[in-house]
Each structure stands twice: as C-alpha cells, then as structure tokens.
Structure 1
Amino acid sequence: MAINSDGCVPAVDVLSSALDPAVSLFHSLSDATRLAIVRHLADGEARVADLVAQLGLAQSTVSAHVACLRDCGLVQGRPQGRQVFYSLAHPELMDLLASAETLLAATGNAVALCPNYGTGRGK
C-alpha cells in the first residue's frame, strides 16, 4: 500500500484492498463453465466425469475449472477410493446466485447489452 507525501494512504488503495475479496469472488464466477459447474453442484455431489457428461466439455477443461473453484474455496472435494466427489463448500453461494437472478430480472437486458461485459460485445 502506497503512502502519499501527507502520510496518508490514498483512497483508491484503501478502496481497492477492501474490495479485492469481492472482486476475486465475482471473477471466479464470471466464466460460463464455472457458473454451470456451480449450478450443477447445487443439486448435489458430482465427480468430474459426471460434470463432463453433463456439460459436454473435455475432461481437462472441467478439471481446470473445478480446480479454480476449489482454490477459491467455493467447491470442496471428498475422496472416495480413486474418485473425488465435489460439492459446494458454501451453500450460501446459491443465495448469491438467486439474488443475481432477481437483479437480472429487474434490469432486463441492460447487463447483456453492456458494451464492456455484455454477451454481444465485439460482435
């Protein structure tokens, strides 16, 4: 953290550090594959093979996204023999997603049409 000539920490640095965990959380959920994995795990435990079959993606792709979610503390694994069954580490995550759905319903297509982050950007 930088300190300016007055001996104070600039507001931008304080704001940034205070928001870093939330930025990381939302970034971890910003990928469609990771969000689909979270939604699938909301229904219960699943192995990577189950997620591969459900999502129709390569095993390496699903494994990488599950590892990301696990590293973020959103998903946990339960070894059973040679298999690992993954589940949500914090079911409260589904409350966050439900709130997001409510917000999306309230904003209509505004988020999807956003020139920076919308689904139609660059097209």
Structure 2
Amino acid sequence: MSQRSAPIGALLPIEDEGVAMVAKFFRALADPTRLRLLEFLLHEPHTVGECVTHVGLAQGRVSTHLACLADCGYVAARRDGRRTFHQVTDPRVADLIVLARSLAADNATALAACVRIAPAPRPEG
C-alpha cells in the first residue's frame, strides 16, 4: 500500500456542496464517448466532423457530448471562419486520464466483477 501525504478525508472539500461538486466532476467523465473525445482533443483542436469520424457516432450525438464537456469546463470551442474547433481547456485533464487508465488497469479484475455499477450502455449511432 502506498503512503499518502494527507489522509483521504483531507483531499475532499469539507462541505456537502463541495463533495457534490467533485461527484458532478466525475459524472461528466463517466461516459465512454466523452472520455474518448477528451483523449482525442488533448493534443490538438479538432472540428466536430473530425470528432464524429474518431468516435463513430452521429454528428448530433457528438455535438451533445461536446456541449456537455464545454458546459462543465473541460473543452472550449473556437470559431475559425465557418469551422469550429474544440480543444481541452486544462492540460491537467491529460494527467487525469493517464491516472484513471492506470488505476483502472490496476483494478481491472475488481472492476469487471463489480455488480453495483452497471456497465456503460453501448453507444448508438
């Protein structure tokens, strides 16, 4: 077991609203399509069309996911003529995704056996 510099309880906000905000932060990331989009947008901006090609969903679905990510502050849109480019707003998102992948890999057996959290629904085109 690794040592931590602070007890786990000290890492979360004390007030209920702060904990609820952290939970909402993770709910925004709890969708596989949004995670794929974030990872795609980490290194360079992309148009909705490029995002559609990358995730293989209909344009309307991708736009909805991008709007969610933008509303929650993960991505920003920038217009360039008739095209709009989306990009990750905070480089720490890359660190978060790398850490999440690592933790998920380390806990893959437990996650696969978990029956309390339903598997993510399959994306619809």
RCO comparison, higher one (Cα < 8 Å, 6+): 2
Q: CA deviation at 1:38?
A: 0.3
* Unaligned residue ranges in structure 1 (runs of 5+): 1-13
List structure 1 runs of 4+ shifted beyond 4 angstroms. Answer: none
Partner of residue 59, structure 2:
59
Larger Rg, first or second structure (1 or 2): 1
Pairs within 5 Å for 1:22-61: 22-61=22-61
Q: CA deviation at 1:29?
A: 0.5
One-letter amino acid of the structure 2 residue matched with residue 98 of structure 1? V
Q: CA deviation at 1:64?
A: 0.2
One-letter amino acid of the structure 1 residue matched with residue 90 of structure 2? H
Q: SS at the partner of 1:97?
A: helix
Partner of residue 85, structure 1:
85
- Count, aligned residues: 108
Q: Distance in 1 between matches of 2:97 and 2:118?
A: 18
One-letter amino acid of the structure 2 residue matched with residue 83 of structure 1? R
Q: CA deviation at 1:118?
A: 5.0
| TM-score normalised by the chain length of structure 2 | 0.78
One-letter amino acid of the structure 2 residue matched with residue 104 of structure 1? A
Q: Distance in 1 between matches of 2:105 and 2:54?
A: 26
**Seq. identity, %:** 34
Q: SS at the partner of 2:87?
A: strand
